[in-house]
Amino acid sequence: MNTIDQHAAALAAGKTTALALAQAALARARDPAGEGARVFTRLDEARALAAARASDALRSAGIVRSPLEGLPVSVKDCFDIAGQVTTAGSAVLKDAAPAARNAPVVDRLIAAGAVIVGRTNMSEFAFSGLGINPHYGTPRNPWDRAGGGRIPGGSSSGAAVSVADGMAVVGIGTDTGGSVRIPSALCGLTGFKPTQRRVPTTGVLPLSTSLDSIGGLTASVRCCAIVDAILAGEEPVPPAMRPVKDARFLVPENVVLDELDADVAAAFERALSRLSAAGARITHQAVPELAEFSELHRHGTLPAAESWAWHRALLARAEGQYDPHVSHRIRRGEKMNAADYIDLLAGRKRWIAAMAARTAAFDALLMPTVACVAPKVAALEPPHDDAYWAANRLILRNTTIINFLDGCALSLPCGSAGEAPVGLMLAGIAGTDRDILALGLGVESCLGGG
């Protein structure tokens, strides 16, 4: 899997063209033996080829708009693109009116020279960490596709597989409870969830207006930093790498290490050992605030309340067209009253302040991104509802903590070659995005990636 820099260098040297890259990506997406039919809800072949030709023409005139110039990029099916219907992986919205304008992040990608190849499949309305979609199919994880395959993780399922299978260099996804980091971890990619306010969510079909954030899934930390800067409207210059020597990491001993499967536990311990050997200062201690997390949500969650507010009229007339797992989670918000919601917002504010104080002496939190490797798809489809809910809870557990914190986080591959993909999550409080990316470059180098 080539990085943005590697593709950019090949383009600059005349070894390839934007048109050739787009044609290759589209050919993979069209391959009947591949995952493209499940990865994309819409391929934009004509538009992508036109954009690629325009990029090549600009390059020949000496104009290169960004490191993304001429590179194939996929966007999740919850982003508005003018003239297209934003279905968010649902059947119920397939006949909705097309978007009148692009989401700002789409405009920023186009202005950067990205060649948008299509819209990627997702968990319906982004409300699951598994990536299973009964309407458009479930993209198979690139690891272990035999026997029906394994889940890609969600909700940005198609985004991850589009990159892993070479249909895009970058996938743009949303992350409300882990939806960029989970599929990145399960598919062997690197993904970044920024502080929520860093990237505008206008023109994105919401799951939770309090928690929704936008990030990239790609091949390396440097790639994530480039994409993040473009999405945030900044110059796409990654931060300088911060070596891990003397970096202070906190590994919470409670909650986030519970129920780890053997593969994840072994990969996590190997990663910690490598970091320690490189001079990182790793502290293992309980974080009392994590033990309070469930109690704060005893009356419901922000995604439940805020998705119920958006969906209630649609559910009233067309609930039968929803994935029952999704409508069930949305309807949990129906049981929350205004006081519950206000209490949760106030509790979140206090909890964020307590977590900031608790972690002030550290440069970052370290934990497994996901507590298990990707389960088999068939084991979570009907009639295996109990397994579905248990897997969804466990897979979302660690990542959703960072969304509630309003933090930023990287997921980096930390497994060994030939083994199931496992993600290492490096996280910080709100506004420390560049610091986490800089430190992530050092962690990636220490682990042998990048």
Residues involved in catalysis: 76, 155, 179
Of the candidates 214, 198, 227, the one whose C-alpha atom is nearest the C-alpha of residue 113 is 227
Strands of 306-407, DSSP E: 364-368
Q: Mapping DSSP to helix (H, G, I), strand (E, B) and coil, where does residue 349 land? A: helix
What single string gives the DSSP state of each residue in 285-316?
E--HHHHTHHHHTTT--HHHHHHHHHHHHHHH
Spatial CA neighbour of 170 closest among 76, 103, 51: 76
First to last CA, the chain: 11
Q: What are phi and psi of 184, to 5 degrees?
A: -60, -45
What is d(CA 178, CA 197) in angstroms, rounded to the nearest whole number? 16
Cβ–Cβ under 8 Å, residues 437 and 226: no
Cβ within 8 Å of residue 55, ≥6 positions away:
18, 69, 70, 113, 115
Of 6, 113, 19, 11, which Cα lies nearest the Cα of 66? 113
Q: How far apart (Å, rounded) are the C-alpha atoms in residues 393 and 400?
A: 10
- Residue (of 157, 175, 156) closest to 215 by Cα position: 175
Two structure tokens written together for 82: 């003018």
Distance between CA atoms of residues 436 and 413, nearest Å:
16
Angle at 374 between CA 369 and CA 378, to 5 degrees: 150
Measured at the alpha carbon of residue 441, what is the angle toward residues 436 and 446, in degrees to the nearest 5? 120
Q: What are phi and psi of 359, to 5 degrees?
A: -105, 5
Indicate the burial class of 161 (C-beta count within 10 angstroms; 0-12, 13-18, 19 or more): buried
d(CA 333, CA 156): 23
Residue for token pair 């496992």 = 422
Place of tokens 């042998």: 448
Do residues 157 and 122 touch, judged by C-beta distance below 8 A?
A: yes
Distance between CA 424 and CA 413 in Å, rounded?
6
